[in-house]
Amino acid sequence: MSTKENAFFSHVNGCLWGGAVGGLYGRFVEHEAWRGDWARRMEAVGSFPKAATGLEWGEYGIDFTAQTQIVSEAVLEREGLPSVEDLARVWMRSVEPLAFGDGRITMKPPANPIRYSLRNTYELLRMGTPPRMVGALNVPMPVGLCVAAPVATIHAHDPDEAYLRGAALASLFQRDRGTVVPGIVAAMAAVAMRAGVSVNEVAATGLRMAEAADGVTRPPADGKGAALMVYQALNAGRNTADREDLFQRLGPLVDAYGKRDPHKLLAQIVAVFVYSGGDYREAVETAVMEPQSPDILGACCGMLCGALRGEKAIPKGWERVLDGLRGGAKLRKTAASLGALTVREAQKRRAGKLS
């Protein structure tokens, strides 16, 4: 294997493994500081990862990582990105409908909105709803972001295609304008895997894809499109003093959206990523301070920084929590298989051009 291919594998592992670690960290803080103030959340951050090893986790840690694993398995089965229909078949075969939420630690209160979204997806598919229509009938949740890392890996050579395919696959879970958000994040992660790319280049890709999204989606009630929101999030990330100040600046920008609206999460992802300068620890420890979706925000920011800096960016000791999970070894194997598939496809493209 060439030095260039080894470096790419590090970015793939950083993207997938970094997202899993970040998501687990966010769920841990959510559990330890449910409805707690800033100081309580900071206290929880200070006790990770040691305190997290004593909790009972699901096979892959949290629901979001389990969903990403299913998408990854569908990619490997198809030896490329699956259609929405292919993904629906693999998803239905893989989930445990009576145990949604198994991939999460017990929360206070125990109700988990993501669990309802996943159950709705299952029931709609079971009733024969066409897979591409399921998201339109589902509750508005950012579950579709689980497609971002696998899509980014397969389309690391082409962020535009990552955007389009990410949005298409997200239609299995996401509704209305929300489908474009996983596509935008997938495009950012795809660019982040390129050698020598900067934080600003990754952020600029997000802005460009948001501008494209505004051409095909209905703007929200306040008239703000995705591009304006991403631009304002970029400025918030660049011009903030500390973590608390960052979320205060984001308040007026995201308050117009529902608690778990995907566009709200997109603004937070962009702002935290830019604020961190691509530093994995800074990004994840900032993301998990968000009180409403710290697991998904932690996963997405961890994914982007891991894709940008490679697996070595994940702090020593953090990965041990995932290594101790029942599905930890499988997550490792899946990341390696996705990287190998992407390298093979790249070699085929190069051979085709030469011939």
Residue 321 to residue 141: CA distance in whole angstroms: 27
Q: Residue 354 has what pLDDT? A: 47
Residue 194 to residue 102: CA distance in whole angstroms: 35
Q: Residue 176 has what pLDDT? A: 66
pLDDT in tens, 203-220: 999 999 998 887 655 555
- Select the more confidently predicted residue: 256 or 103: 256
Q: Which CATH number is 288's domain given?
A: 1.10.4080.10
Which has the closest alpha carbon to 105: 294, 274, 233?
294
Amino acid at site 342: T
Report CA torsion sign: 322, 325, 329, 331.
negative
Which has the closest alpha carbon to 263: 292, 228, 226, 211?
226
Q: Residue 127 has what pLDDT? A: 92
pLDDT surpassing 90 at residue 50: no
- Select the more confidently predicted residue: 14 or 107: 14
Break the chain down into helix, strand, coil percent, rounded to 5.
70, 0, 30
Tell me the three-class secondary structure of 63-89, residue by residue: HHHHHHHHHHHHHHHHCCCCCHHHHHH
Q: Which residues pair with 58 in a beta bridge?
A: 61
Residue 32 to residue 52: CA distance in whole angstroms: 10
Task: Please count the structural domains in the chain.
Answer: 1
Residue 152 to residue 252: CA distance in whole angstroms: 30
**What is the model's pTM?**
0.91
Residue 31 to residue 62: CA distance in whole angstroms: 12
* Residue count (the chain): 355
In which domain, by residue range, is 233 found?
3-354
Q: State what percent of residues in the chain have pLDDT above 90.
A: 45
Please compute the mean of the pLDDT values over residues 167-183 and round it to a whole number.
Answer: 86
Q: Enumerate residues 6+ apart whose C-beta is below 8 A from 204.
A: none
pLDDT in tens, 284-321: 999 999 888 899 999 999 999 999 999 999 998 898 88
Q: Residue 355 has what pLDDT? A: 45
Q: Enumerate residues 6+ apart whose C-beta is below 8 A from 196.
A: none
pLDDT surpassing 80 at residue 272: yes
Q: Residue 152 has what pLDDT? A: 95
Please compute the mean of the pLDDT values over residues 31-38 and round it to a whole number.
Answer: 73
Q: Residue 103 has what pLDDT? A: 43
